[in-house]
Amino acid sequence: MTLSMVEIAKRAGVSVATVSRVMNKKGGYGKATGEKVEAIIKEAGYQKNEMASGLKRKFTRSIGVIIPNVVTNYFGLIVEGIEEEARKNGYSILLAHSGNGGEHFEHALATLTERRVSGLIFVSVQTTDDDYDLVKQSTTPHIFISSDSDTQDFSKIKIDDYQAALEATRYLIGKGHKKIGLVGLNPTDKVAGEPRIKGYRRAFEEANLQLDEKWIISGDFGVETAEKGVEISLDQIDTTALFCASDEAAIGAMKACRKKGLNVPEDISIMGFDDSTTAKLCYPELTTVHQPLFEMGSQSVFKIIQAIETNDVIESDIVPFDIIERESVVSLT
């Protein structure tokens, strides 16, 4: 009888990470849990080294991609870049969703590694220490795109989120805006939320401007949460500009402003982030921070294939960003 790591975890009533810790004698679990997992492994006919190979390399010309979701232009552009570069090099890709991390991440990782993918790409994933432990055990070449890997020794491709938010806020201040809202970020999100909020705050400090905490409107990068957050907050704040966490969040902010009878940019300026397809489809067209999303996806595959075929170490890249001026920001000077 053959069981996958996911199936063993389900039978034992524990996470995939716990199965991995038992398998590798890493501790962090009770005696009863260890005995239960080991009994299931034995019953399934696994040897310890065979279990460990759940994350081992095998050349299959396939690359696993783990993403939280695929419903935004942000993820769509990255995946397009991944797919095109993979196809040009004769590789296929397998997509798996990690949700908000934890068990969803473990399940996604176990599913892809059981398919013996030759490389792994993690896109904007939220991960726990247990998740990182699972990845560390892998001999499969892997890279993180815009993920919370700053405190971990993993290869990554990303922009400098702190610097991007700092320069975007400086841009708005340079246009004469002194009351600038920040829309759609989660302050506990270490991938983008925390560094961008720090960059936003730093711009106010540099300009010796007072920042009202009510100007920070939390969210999840999406249209609906941004729309609701801005709609609720507009009666309590008197900002002249809103800097949004994504182009989708900017669309939500625009909708809320229009509901309140405010015209963009005549009454309030709005700035996005990402420079996704959305930025040029809305009216007015969005001034936004450009991330080279397609190129980041493409470059990640290029690096993975190099590592697969040469065993080279994957080097990290901090990629450039730009501010793209369109029609949604007006100068007050």
pLDDT tens, residue by residue, 39-63: 877 776 654 433 344 444 456 899 9
Q: Which CATH number fits domain 62-159+293-319: 3.40.50.2300, 1.20.140.70, 1.10.600.10, 2.60.40.1180?
A: 3.40.50.2300
What is the per-residue pLDDT for 55? 42
Query: Which of the two residues, 102 and 79, has the higher pLDDT score?
Result: 79
State the amino acid at position 198 in one-letter form.
K
Tell me where in the chain the CATH 3.40.50.2300 domain(s) lie. Answer: 62-159+293-319, 161-290
Q: Output the DSSP codes for 117-182.
A: -SEEEEES----HHHHHHHHT--S-EEEES-S-TTTT--EEE--HHHHHHHHHHHHHHTT--SEEE
Is the pLDDT at 180 greater than 80, yes or no? Answer: yes
What is the per-residue pLDDT for 100? 66
Here the contacts of 250-253 (C-beta below 8 Å, separation 24 or greater) are 250/183, 250/226, 250/279, 250/282, 250/286, 250/288, 250/328, 251/223, 251/226, 251/278, 251/282, 252/183, 252/184, 252/222, 252/223, 252/224, 252/225, 252/226, 252/227, 252/228, 253/183, 253/184, 253/226, 253/227
What is the reported pTM? Answer: 0.82
What is the per-residue pLDDT for 24? 64
Among 107-111, 249-253, 286-290, which is the least confidently predicted range?
Answer: 107-111
pLDDT tens, residue by residue, 187-214: 988 889 999 999 999 999 999 999 999 9
Helix (H) or strand (E) holding 268, with range, is none
Instruction: Say which CATH topology domain 161-290 has.
Output: Rossmann fold (3.40.50)
Structure tokens at 169: 């806020």
